[in-house]
Amino acid sequence: MKYISGCALLIALCINMSALATEVEDAPSRDTESSYYNISYKINADGSYTEEHGWATKILKQRALEYNKSVTISYSTSIQQAEVLEAYTLKMDGRRVEVPKSNYQVQINGGNGDGAPVFSDITQMTVVFPELAVGDTTVFHYRLVGSAPLFPGHFSKVVTFSPQTYYDEVNISFDAPAELPVHHQSWFLESVRDEVADGRRITQWHWSNTQPLKPDPAPPLFEFERNPGLVYSTFASYEDIVQAYGTRAIPKAAVTERIQKLANEIAGAQIEPRAVAQTLYEWVATNITYAGNCIGLGMVVPHDTDFVLDNRMGDCKDQATLLQALLAAKNIQSTQALINSGNLYHLPSVPAAQMVNHVINYIPAWDMFLDPTASNIPFGMLPWGDAGKPVFLVDGYHADTRTPAANKNRQTMHMHMTVAADGSIKGEEQIEQAGYFAVNTRASLRNSNPEFLKQDADAFFKRWGANGSGKFDYSDAAALSDHYRYSVNYKVDQMLPIPGGLTVQAFASGKAISNFAASANDPVPDQGELTCSSVYLEEDYVIDFAPSIKILALPPNVEIKTATVSYKAQYTRNGNQVRILRVFDDRTPGSTCTSAFMREYNALMQKIQPNLRAQVVYQ
C-alpha cells in the first residue's frame, strides 16, 4: 500500500532517504514503472496553498501488487480539504476500471461528539484499485486545498525523488504571487520555466529517470546534493524560520502562577542552579508523555502550559516550552532551538520549515542542549539523533551553531575465569559503562525481569551446546545517569576441549572490542557520509588454568596506531595464570565520517581482527 503524506504542514521532513547508487538497474528487475508524476502548487499571498498530485504507475511484477493495490493520503482536517480527481485501474487491454465509492475508506481523528481532537486531526483516505493485475496501471490524481498557512505570509516545500525509481517524466510546478519573495534550489532537475506573468511567478522543473539505479547495499546519509529534488521557499534564511516560530511560541513560555508553584515544588530545597535545572529537566522528561501534535497550526504553535500539565502530555514544542517556563521561574535563562530529527546533518542554503522538524532547549550559561522528549537521556546529553547537527537558537541565533557530537562512549571490563582440569569453567565479568553505552543499558534493564535475565543467560550457553548457567547482578537502572555498572557470574560444564585453544572474548557485553572489529566487514558506500563517533574500550582478562593443564603458547603482543585510532593488546603469563589486557581507543571526531575515512577505518579494524581471534594454546 502506498502512503502519501498530504499533511504538508506535518513539519516532518518527508523525503526519500535513498542515496544515489552507482549501477543502473536492469529493466527486467524492476517491479514498477511510472509513466508520469505531476506535482503542482498554487500559493496564495498569505502563504496558504493548493497542491495537486497525479501519477500513473504500471505494475511489472507480482510482488509489487500488494504494495500498489491501494494508496493512502493524509491531511489536516482543520486547515485542509481533500478531493480525489481521478482514480482508476487501466487494464492491459485498454479498459478503464473506475474506483467505486465502496473502495474509499476514510479514517478521521476527532474528539468525542462535537468535541475537538486533542493532539491530531489528521484524516486518512485510502483508495483501493479494482481488478489490479500484473501489467495494469494505477492512475491517481488528488487535490488538497489549504485554508491557512503554517506561518503567516510564508510558504516552503521540499520535494525529492528516489533515483532508484523509474519515471518517464516528472513535472513540478509552483505558481505564486509575484510579490512573494521566492527562493529555490534544485539538484538533477531541469529548469523549464521561471518567469512572471499576469502578476504571478511561474516556476517549473522537469526530470526523467528511465535508467534507475540499483539500491545501494550501504546507503550513505541523505544529502540533498546527491539526490534529485528541490527546495522552494519564501524564507530568506533559517533565522526567518526561527523568528516565525518564536513569534507565537515564546509567549507560551510565560511564567504563570501555576508554573512558579510547580517549579518551586520540583526544585524543593535545591538552590544551586545546575542542580535545579537538572531536576526540572528530569521532571519534564519523565512526567510529560510524548504525543505527536498534528492539528492545523498546532503543528508549529505550542499548547498552553496549563493544557500540557493538565494532560501530562505534549509534543516536542510543548515539552520545550514547558521546560523553558519552569527554568525561567527559577531564574535560569534558556531558549528553544530548532533542529532536524531525521538523517540530515547538512542543510541546503535555501531553508524550508520542513527541515527543522524538532524543538529542543539550550541553556547558554553552560552551553548545554537538552531534549526533554528523550525520557531516557541524562541531563547534559542529547539523544543520538540530535547530536552533531545544525541547530538554530530562537534567542541568540547563530547560523553556524551545531549540537555536540555523540562522543561520550566508554566501557571497561574485568573478567576473571577459572578453567578446571576437565574443561569446565566458571567466571565473573564486571562491566562499567559511560555515555550512550550506559544510557542504552539502563533503558534495556529499566523494566526488565530478573528471572528472564537468568533464563537468557542460561540459554546463551545452551546455544553453544553447553550445560551452563549465569546470573546478572545490576544496580537500579531507573536514574537518568550516563554511568552504569553490572556484573555476570557464570559456570559451564566441560566448556573447553582438553587439549585445545581458547579464544578469549567477553560473554556479557555487546560492546566488546570484537563486536566493533566485526563491523570492518560491513559495506561502505562509494561516496557520501555515514554516522560515526568516538569510543574507548578496555578489557582486562585474568584466566587461571588448573595445575594439570600446561600452557603452550600465547598470542603475540600487538600495537597498532593511526591518527585517530589505537589498539594495544598485551599477553602475559605467571605460572598457570594468563592475563590479557586490550585497549581500543577510537578518537574519531564524529558525528559523521566520509566514505573514504570509513574505508580506511575498516582496513585498520581488519588488522585487529586476527589478534582478537588468536588463541591461548594449552594441553
pLDDT band at 4; cut points 50, 70, 90: low
Contacts of 298 (CB under 8 A, 6+ apart): none
Cell numbers representing residue 146 in the block? 489549504
**Is 8's pLDDT higher than 50?**
no
Question: Which 3 state secondary structure label does DSSP give 7?
Answer: coil
Please tell me the predicted confidence (pLDDT) of residue 159: 97
Phi, psi (deg, nearest 5) at residue 328: -60, -35
Mean pLDDT value of segment 547-566: 95
Please tell me the predicted confidence (pLDDT) of residue 59: 97
pLDDT band at 13; cut points 50, 70, 90: very low
Alpha-carbon distances of 482 from 100, 381, 445, 488, 517, rounded to whole Å: 57, 8, 14, 20, 24
Please tell me the predicted confidence (pLDDT) of residue 471: 85
Question: Which 3 state secondary structure label does DSSP give 515?
Answer: helix
For the beta sheet containing 104-108, the strands, ordered from the edge strand earlier in sequence to the opposite edge, are 2-5, 70-76, 122-128, 104-108
- Contact, 64 vs 32, CB < 8 A? yes
Mean pLDDT value of segment 130-146: 97
Assessment of whether the complete model's pTM goes beyond 0.85: yes
Least confident of 1-10, 169-178, 483-492: 1-10
Q: What is the secondary structure of 402-454 as a DSSP string?
A: BPPPS--EEEEEEEEEEE-TTS-EEEEEEEEEEEHHHHHHHHHHTT--HHHHH
Neighbours of 374 (CB within 10 A): 21
Mean pLDDT value of segment 553-576: 95
**Is 618's pLDDT higher than 50?**
yes
Domains of the chain: 2-234 (2.60.40.3140), 241-393 (3.10.620.30), 409-618 (2.60.120.1130)
Q: What is the pLDDT of residues 231-266, one digit of tens each?
A: 999 999 999 999 999 999 999 999 999 999 999 999
- Of 358 and 3, the structure prediction assigns the larger pLDDT to 358
Q: Is residue 474 classed exposed, middle or buried when 0-12, 13-18 and 19+ CB atoms within 10 A define those classes?
A: middle
Please tell me the predicted confidence (pLDDT) of residue 236: 96
pLDDT band at 297; cut points 50, 70, 90: low
Mean pLDDT value of segment 353-379: 96
Mean pLDDT value of segment 357-380: 96
Share of the chain above pLDDT 90, in %: 79
Residue with cell 503524506: 5
Phi, psi (deg, nearest 5) at residue 502: -115, 115
Mean pLDDT value of segment 83-108: 96
Least confident of 40-44, 74-78, 267-271, 555-559: 74-78
Mean pLDDT value of segment 592-599: 92
Please tell me the predicted confidence (pLDDT) of residue 296: 65
Please tell me the predicted confidence (pLDDT) of residue 27: 61
Q: What is the pLDDT of residues 327-358, one digit of tens each?
A: 999 999 999 999 999 999 999 999 999 999 99
Chain-centre distance for alpha carbon 576:
49
**Is 116's pLDDT higher than 80?**
no
Share of the chain above pLDDT 70, in %: 95
* Sign, Cα dihedral of 515, 520, 521, 526: positive
Please tell me the predicted confidence (pLDDT) of residue 547: 97
Least confident of 332-341, 395-404, 520-529: 520-529
pLDDT band at 448; cut points 50, 70, 90: confident
How many alpha carbons fall within 13 Å on the CB side of residue 447?
A: 1
Please tell me the predicted confidence (pLDDT) of residue 455: 74
Residues 122, 74: Cα–Cα separation, whole Å = 6
Q: What is the secondary structure of 83-114 as a DSSP string?
A: EEEEEEEE-TTS-EEEPPGGGEEEEE---STT
Residues 411, 545: Cα–Cα separation, whole Å = 27
Mean pLDDT value of segment 554-578: 95
- Of 298 and 354, the structure prediction assigns the larger pLDDT to 354
Please tell me the predicted confidence (pLDDT) of residue 3: 47
Please tell me the predicted confidence (pLDDT) of residue 2: 56
Please tell me the predicted confidence (pLDDT) of residue 484: 95
Please tell me the predicted confidence (pLDDT) of residue 131: 96
Please tell me the predicted confidence (pLDDT) of residue 449: 75
Q: What is the pLDDT of residues 174-205, one digit of tens each?
A: 999 999 999 999 999 999 999 999 999 999 99
Phi, psi (deg, nearest 5) at residue 592: -130, 150
Closest residue by Cα to residue 503 from 483, 517, 524, 489: 517
Please tell me the predicted confidence (pLDDT) of residue 188: 97
pLDDT band at 229; cut points 50, 70, 90: very high
Q: What is the pLDDT of residues 451-498, one digit of tens each?
A: 777 777 777 777 777 888 888 888 889 999 999 999 999 899 988 999
Q: What is the pLDDT of residues 423-441, one digit of tens each?
A: 999 999 999 999 999 999 9
The pLDDT mean for the chain works out to 91
Please tell me the predicted confidence (pLDDT) of residue 26: 62
pLDDT band at 520; cut points 50, 70, 90: confident
